[in-house]
């Protein structure tokens, strides 16, 4: 793939960083469009997304470095080079969740309703951003001989070179876009505030746990070297979200 999109002298434009920015722009564009139906201003969404962006990048990078700490012992400065790739979604999600929660509390906004407004845009932006992983070679898959297997040849790629691998980056692009479409359908038929957001984290976490099975990079141990850290978090989060959905739907049904 092409981890460096453009190089002029010592100046390099990394494809990963470009798609990370495009994913953010896509997410904020769709969310602003979505929020207008609920009377929320563009400026409020911009402020909220800035809070989410900064906290998500910090959290995602911290978890990635924590999982792969041995790779950074010899060069601490490499920890800060996020444009080379290396972010873990769940680290970003947890950090962004608490930052957004604080933001909404300070602004006295309805947390569940706002989370519903955010969810589809986050899924769509994530789908776009995952193309950056493909070009950088991070989040690569295990070796395979399937017709859809991909091969990395660029010397600066983070993936093993010249071997056929599962295109796990594209698996995540596809699953995130599918989740986006599902959330649009849920949004039209939601029965309570929070239903869209809970559906998002349940679906993403479940899909992520499946895709993790095909990942070839070190994932960190969670349970007896059988389940990776991201798989473990994904399964727990998906289960908790499912329980919340069932309880909320049950209460609504009971009230009728």
176 compared with 84, residue with greater pLDDT: 176
Number of Cβ within a 10 Å radius of residue 158? 19
Least confident of 57-61, 68-72, 95-99: 68-72
Catalogue the E-assigned strands of 143-215.
150-151, 164-165
Dump pLDDT digits (tens) for 72-98. Answer: 777 777 777 666 666 777 788 889 989
Q: What is the mean pLDDT of the chain?
A: 88
Tens of pLDDT, residue by residue over 14-23, are 898 899 899 9
Average pLDDT over residues 191-206: 93
Residue 226 has pLDDT above 90, yes or no: no
C-alpha angle 111-62-157 in degrees, rounded to nearest 5: 115
Q: How far is CA 172 from CA 126, 206, 208, in A?
A: 9, 12, 8
Q: Report pLDDT for 4.
A: 84
Out of 8-17, 185-194, 247-256, give the one with best mean pLDDT.
Answer: 185-194
Domain range summary for the chain, segments of one domain joined by +: 4-44+62-85+112-135+146-255
Q: Say what the pLDDT of residue 224 is.
A: 56
C-alpha 49/C-alpha 21 separation (Å) is 12
- Helices 168-189 & 195-212, crossing angle to 10 degrees? 160
């Amino acid at each position: 793939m092409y981890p460096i999109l453009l190089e002029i002298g010592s100046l390099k434009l990394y494809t990963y960083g470009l798609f990370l920015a495009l994913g953010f722009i896509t997410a904020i564009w769709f969310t602003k469009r979505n929020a207008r139906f609920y009377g929320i201003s563009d400026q409020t969404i911009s402020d909220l997304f800035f809070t989410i962006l900064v906290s998500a990048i910090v959290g995602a990078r911290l978890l990635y470095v924590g999982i792969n700490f041995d790779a950074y012992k010899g060069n601490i400065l490499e920890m800060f080079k996020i444009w080379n790739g290396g972010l873990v979604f769940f680290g970003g999600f947890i950090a962004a969740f608490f930052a957004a929660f604080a933001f909404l509390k300070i602004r006295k906004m309805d947390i569940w309703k706002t989370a519903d407004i955010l969810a589809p845009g986050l899924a769509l932006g994530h789908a776009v951003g995952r193309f950056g992983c493909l070009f950088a070679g991070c989040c690569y898959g295990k070796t395979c001989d399937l017709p859809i297997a991909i091969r990395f040849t660029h010397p600066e790629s983070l993936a093993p070179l010249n071997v056929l691998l599962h295109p796990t980056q594209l698996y995540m692009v596809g699953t995130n876009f599918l989740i986006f479409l599902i959330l649009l359908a849920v949004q039209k038929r939601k029965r309570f505030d929070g239903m869209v957001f809970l559906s998002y984290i349940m679906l993403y976490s479940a899909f992520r746990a499946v895709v993790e099975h095909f990942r070839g990079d070190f994932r960190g141990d969670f349970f007896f070297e059988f389940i990776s850290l991201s798989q473990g978090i994904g399964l727990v989060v998906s289960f908790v979200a499912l329980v919340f959905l069932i309880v909320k739907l049950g209460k609504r049904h009971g009230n009728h």
